[in-house]
Structure 1
Amino acid sequence: MSRRAQGYLLLSLAMMTVGTTVIASKVLAGSVPPFQATALRFALALPVLLWLLRRQGAAWPRLGAGDRVLLVLQAAAGSVGYTVLLVMGLAHLPAADAGVIIGTLPAVSALFSVLVLGERPGLRQVVSVALATLGVMAVAWKASGPSSGFGMLCVFGAVLCESAFILLNKRMRQPLGAVQQATAMVLLGLLVSAPAALLEGPLAWPAPASLGALAWYAWVPTAAGFLLWYAGSSRVSGGEAATFTAVAPLTAVALAAVLLGEPLGLSQGLGIGAVVLAILVLAMPSRSTASR
């Protein structure tokens, strides 16, 4: 297998694990309070990542005060905010609908770069954001009642949190390695979520299904998925890697039907089609890149 083919396989597997976070969150929704679910996820993932960090043996870079603040903000938004809002939203929304909304992340991140970083939007960014918006509208069109609307707002809030994480990460003066970044996010995420988890009441031992979902979320997407993505992206170009983010919403929607028995209707089909197309448009090489 060529190095590029290995990259494609690793990236596909990484994004499949991301898609499973929607299913795990759906299992947790309503059975484990959101902050407790978040803190437990990090508590389970931290020993694995600390072991990987020790095995790697890389020296921890010296970070300035600004970078330390950015790390805390990244953990609060991308680690805690994303997980809490996703679990809250899935208590009111089918997993398939959430999968479509999660798929808008690349387009929303591109929009953040324009609005916050002042980057000039190209035609690809404009078309991608428009398609992603159509995808969410397709799901919202069939939403029934205020409960579904609240669920959609929570899941889209999770997307905004993850977009903020990406934006904050770009501001880092001293970037961290893959395992260092994952470990920092999990450790800080645990510290940020633990006080709120204690306020949610006494921790009850989760049911077997919820405990399995927590273990999966902690060990597969959080640890293995992160490493798979970095291993795969090192073997292909940035544009090629971005294309594989389309695998995550496709996996979420497919697993919602297969594992949860959710019916897939026209709205989900149109929504996932528009969102995947938005990702592919955004991943297309620009003219200057293609001409090199």
Structure 2
Amino acid sequence: MPKNTQLTGFLMMAAAMVLVGSTVIVSKTIGEGMPPFTATALRFAIASPVFAGLLWFSRQKIPSLSLREWGLLIIQAASGSVAYTVLLILGLSFTSGANAGVIVGTLPVIMGLLAIMAFGERATRRLMAAIFVAGIGVFLVTLGAVSGDNSTDTLRDFIGIGLVFLAVLGEALFLLLNKKIATPIPALALSTIMSCFGFLLAIGPAYAEFSSGAYGHISRDALIGVIYYALFPTVVGFLLWYGGSAKTSAGEAALATAFMPVSALVFVAFFSHEPITLLQATGCFFVIIAILVGIGREGPKEL
């Protein structure tokens, strides 16, 4: 494959990860002005027609699937589409965007750990080293939360970090369950299914949020944030990632994920009033090292 083509592909995937990193600061804005399930349902209500249009335009078809495979897809949508979005928004209402950015960046490593613990995959030395280094990064972020003088703020940080970590677990489960589906599903078709299922799963709780009257006025900034989330990280990020992955190796795809935590911290530094502490920056550094250590010679086949 020509080097220029590989470079273009890598830059496309890096751009996709930058967009994913931006969802941290955007999710914080959304959480300040819109309930989480409402935001999630609206995100997929916007993205689903776009994906469906792209699917029709590309003339791809959704393959015939068994009931078991449809069930797995529903679980994937619940964990990776709905739970991830809701838990990230909720977590960011308790902790800082910088903390969340570092935790979200551990996704490739958490995926490897979950594959060992829940799916019986072999634990390699490289993966265990990556998990250890990522653990140091997460510990530093947690240590920063503990070092505060206000016990109430410390508890809120712990709750937020825990919720974001659960969001990452949901996304990791989504990625791993995809390997359990025997029938090959084109990437665009899979994204269309996930988006539609995500809307169907979120609309009920969203209606309950609306009916309860617990939330008041939905802010304009939150609405703009949801529209951005739906069109750019969700749709454009998909096109960039899969377009780039077709031009590069799996190892290069894994390397591109290192842009995610870095971009999250950069967005937080430039677009919010949150200071980036030395512990947060150091934690991010360790997470990036963990990603690089975990790549291996061949790298993961899917992200």
TM-score (normalizing by structure 1) = 0.95
Does the 8 Å CA contact 1:178/1:227 hold for their aligned counterparts?
no
AA in 1 matched with 2:233: P
Instruction: Summarize the alignment of residues 47-66 of structure 1 with structure 2, pairs less than 5 Å apart.
Output: 47-66=49-68
Does the 8 Å contact 1:17/1:221 carry over to 2?
yes
In structure 2, the partner of 1:290 is: none
Q: Secondary structure at the match of 2:121?
A: coil
Alignment gaps of 5+ in structure 1: 288-292
Runs of 4 or more above 6 Å deviation = none
The aligned runs of 1:227-246 (5 Å cut-off) are: 227-246=239-258
1:258 aligns with 2:270: yes
Preserved contact between residue 251 and residue 298 of structure 2 (Cα < 8 Å): no
2:210 equivalent in structure 1: 201
Larger mean Cα displacement after TM superposition, 102-111 or 204-213? 204-213
Contact map agreement 1:89 1:155 (CA 8 A) in 2: yes
Following superposition, the deviation at residue 23 of structure 1 comes to 1.2
In the alignment, residue 226 of structure 2 is paired with which amino acid? L
Contact 1:29 1:90 in 2 (8 A): yes
Instruction: Tell whether 2:17 aligns with 1:15.
Output: yes
Displacement of 1:206 in angstroms is 3.0
Matches within 5 A, 1:181-200: 181-200=190-209
| 1:60 counterpart letter in structure 2 | I
Q: 1:39 to 1:128 in 2, by over 3 A?
A: same
Is 1:277 aligned with 2:289? yes
Equivalent position of 2:234 in the other structure:
222
Please tell me the root mean square deviation across aligned C-alpha atoms, in Å. Answer: 1.5
Residues in 2 aligned to 1:41 and 1:66: alpha-carbon distance in whole angstroms: 27
Give the TM-score of the pair, scaled to structure 2: 0.92
Q: How far 1:59 sits from its partner (Å)?
A: 2.2
Deviates more, 1:173-182 or 1:243-252: 173-182
- Contact in 2 for aligned 1:135/1:272 (Cα 8 Å): yes
Percent of residue pairs bearing the same amino acid type: 40
Is residue 2:94 matched to residue 1:116? no
Distance in 2 between the 1:150 and 1:222 partners?
Answer: 26
- Choose the corresponding residue for 2:133, options 131, 134, 154: 131
SS at match of 2:131: helix
Deviation at 1:286, TM superposition (A): 5.8
Aligned length: 287
